[in-house]
Amino acid sequence: MKTRITELLGVEHPIIQGGMAWVAEHHLAAAVSEAGGLGLIGGANAPGEVVRAEIRKAKELTGKTIGVNVMLLSPHAEDVAKVVVEEGIKVVTTGAGNPEKYMDMWKAAGIKVIPVVASVALAKRMEKYGADAVVAEGCESGGHIGEQTTMTLVPQIVDAVSIPVIAAGGIGDGRGIAAAFMLGAEAVQIGTRFVVAEESIVHENYKQRIIKAKDIDSAVTGRSHGHPVRSLRNQMTREYARLEQEGKSFEELEYMTLGTLRKAVQEGDITNGTVMAGQIAGMISREQTCKEMIDEMMEQAERLLGC
């Protein structure tokens, strides 16, 4: 399946792996790229030298293109922005902010810049400042979310910009890919399903929590302070919701969640940790390799689209 995105990125399949904090490291990124998609290393809050090491490890595992997701709110964002240039990365996605200050440097280095956006206004602004494509991410996704659903956001952004649009949020099989293409997207970004990949270093408890999730098992916390986050329900989300209702400050709530994503991903604490996952978790039923996932999704999507 050829689209402007597969041509832009030089990949076989129009599938990008989400740059998930603590999850999107070199093993997963390399496996997705080897399977024909675009694997991403998640910069998250990591220092530049940690990201550099991850990039180099990924390159030892695959000769195919890998990208880096730069989290713009990170205190190390500027260092990471320079590291991707120094390490010859060819694709950068960005989240949690506006990448305009780094755009000239990245473009001069020949980097394809793909911001994640949650509104038409930001998509148009990113196109104006030279973005090569945008990821239109609906609120069905895991982690930090906007307000619009994928179904409504994607076609509005497609109509508003001329650059290619990648759909994200609530996509985990070939039906979701086909639907995204019907909305005008030219690729998809998938996060939650890749969390349970065999190559994913996520703790088995975390993987099993996703695999056993039901359709109603995700919850959104933080809306009252304008920082909504979707994760799977547990003691942490219940306590957060209780304190949020009591009117606790954003700082107090942030302190409570400090380090809890790492606790869930690395230590397997799915009771008090933050188990970020999208609403699609209810459809994910087993661990597979990245290649098995991508081949299965593409076969189903191509059959539905008549490719």
Alpha helices by DSSP H, 143-213? 150-160, 174-182, 192-195, 204-211
Enter the pTM of the model: 0.94
For residue 121, the model assigns a pLDDT of 95
For residue 255, the model assigns a pLDDT of 84
Q: Report the half-sphere exposure of 304 (CA within 13 A, side-chain side).
A: 16
**Structural domains of the chain ordered from first start:** 4-200+284-305 (3.20.20.70), 204-267 (no CATH)
- Could you give the CA distance from residue 126 to residue 128 in angstroms, rounded to a whole number? 5
- Could you give the CA distance from residue 292 to residue 284 in angstroms, rounded to a whole number? 14
Question: Is the predicted pLDDT of residue 258 greater than 90, yes or no?
Answer: no
Average pLDDT, integer, range 9-18: 97
For residue range 164-173, what is the model confidence (pLDDT) as tens digits? 999 999 999 9
For residue range 78-114, what is the model confidence (pLDDT) as tens digits? 999 999 999 999 999 998 888 989 999 999 999 999 9
For residue range 190-226, what is the model confidence (pLDDT) as tens digits? 999 999 999 999 999 999 999 999 999 999 999 888 8
Question: Is the predicted pLDDT of residue 35 greater than 90, yes or no?
Answer: yes
For residue range 54-77, what is the model confidence (pLDDT) as tens digits? 999 999 999 999 999 999 988 999
* Lateral strand order in the sheet of 187-190: 15-17, 187-190, 165-168, 134-137, 112-117, 91-95, 66-71, 39-42
